[in-house]
Amino acid sequence: MSERWLVAMSGGVDSSVAAALIARAGHEVVGVTMDLGEGSSRGTSARGPMSGDVVPRGAKKCCGLPDAEDARDVARTLGIRHYTANYRDEFKRAVIEPFVAEYAAGRTPIPCIACNRVLKFDLLLRRAEALGARGVATGHYARIAAAPDGGLALFRPRDRDKDQTYFLFDLPRATLESVAFPLGDLEKCEVRALARELGLVTAEKPESQGICFIPDGDVRGALERLRPETAPAPGPITTADGEVVGTHPGAVGYTPGQRRGLGLSSGPWYVREVHPAENRLVVGREEALHARAVRIREARWLDGSPPVGPVRVAVRHRHKSVSAEVLPGPGDCADIRFDSPVWAPAPGQAAVVYDAADERVLGGGWITVAGA
């Protein structure tokens, strides 16, 4: 039966092919590109003290107007409707402001998770409902299939190199009823081949890398633009024992496991802890950054309760998952113990839990503490 689907079209090849596959299946497609602008308006926001442009003028960014033009070209080729919707304020509130606040607190945020949960699978789902659509389809590499209990669950895609389930772990299970991931059973090379076959303008378009609103990768520079009133100041770099081994230009923006930008002799040294209140970095040798456990907060479990028995856990995107067990804690907290040490789990990152077969997403939470 033909249905109407809203497809989130970022202007890249993946979302373009996702729209094509939904249309090929005989459904009506409404393409929507979210205009996220430059992530912030000029001047002082009524919601916070951030000002200035997130992305430098002329830099390539995701979900801006040039990408909307590509999405519109794809829509014309496919013969589908296309709209550009202004989500600049929502993006700033849900993604940019928490991003800055997390770094200011010494944590390492993951803006893509908030963007998915709030913009794509909340606000766009509401828009889909208003349009009488079945739900929202995206170009994510993930699969939705039946779980052992018969309900829907989130699974890793066929192309494990493109796996994006890490960024989708906290989607409510009920949401999966209204979501489609058409690329879940395709390899990236097949996606590009299909785009070429269909004559889509995005067929050879390079993939976006890193944080979409910081295309040059300069996190510290972006933080300075976003919070100019909190200019960085030099501070000490110490060992865990308190020995001063150097200075840094400002602690905010560093992350555990980072090696570049420390300027220390007798290395290699790695960032072990970030203490923004003291404007201090703690560094250590490689062996000191391996952890056998982490504590998570705001744990979310797709089955409604923490998993029992062996699981697999990834502590960052593209991290090879390791065997572990989940120990429920008070409230929405839990401890995760790894069978083998993991490298530099960072507060603010997610610990995503998969089943023992390393295929089905069971849930996860936000790392607060990493320990031996």
| Within-domain flag for 243 | yes
- Same domain? For 134 and 158 the reply is yes
Domain match, 29 and 135 both = yes
Q: Is there a single domain that holds both residue 157 and residue 105?
A: yes
Least confident interval from 10-14, 187-191, 266-270, 363-367:
266-270
For the segment 286-306, what is each residue's pLDDT rounded down to a tens digit?
Answer: 999 999 999 999 999 999 999
Bridge partners of residue 342, in order along the sequence: 291
CATH code for position 48: 3.40.50.620
Domain co-membership, 177 together with 134 = yes
Q: Are residues 50 and 130 in the same domain?
A: yes
Per-residue pLDDT at 47 exceeds 80: no
Catalytic one of 62, 112, 212, 333? 212
Partners of 281 in the β-ladder: 237, 274
For residues 170 and 298, membership in a common domain is answered with no
212 is a domain residue:
no
Predicted pLDDT at 63: 56
Q: pLDDT for 240-254, tens place per residue?
A: 999 999 999 999 999
* DSSP state letters, 322-345: EEEEEEE-STT-EEEEEEEEEE--
The domain in which residue 265 lies consists of 232-284
Q: Of 62, 63, 112, 115, which one is the catalytic site residue?
A: 115
- Shared-domain flag, residues 18 and 127: yes
Are 58 and 153 part of one and the same domain? Answer: yes
Q: Which residues contact 70 (CB under 8 A, 6 or more apart)?
A: 11, 12, 16, 201, 202, 205
255, 354: one domain: no
Same domain, 329 and 248: no
Both 119 and 18 in one domain: the answer is: yes
Label residue 303 exposed, middle or buried (CB < 10 Å: 0-12, 13-18, 19+). Answer: middle
Contact 157, 191 (CB under 8 A): no
Residue 48 pLDDT > 60, yes or no? no
Q: Is residue 104 part of a domain?
A: yes
Distance CA 139, CA 183 (A): 6
Based on the residue annotation, tell me whether 333 is a catalytic residue of this protein.
no
Determine the pLDDT at residue 65. 63
- Please report, for the domain that includes residue 342, its CATH number: 2.40.30.10
Q: Report the number of distinct structural domains present in the chain.
A: 3
Q: What is the pTM of this model?
A: 0.91
| 211 belongs to a structural domain | no
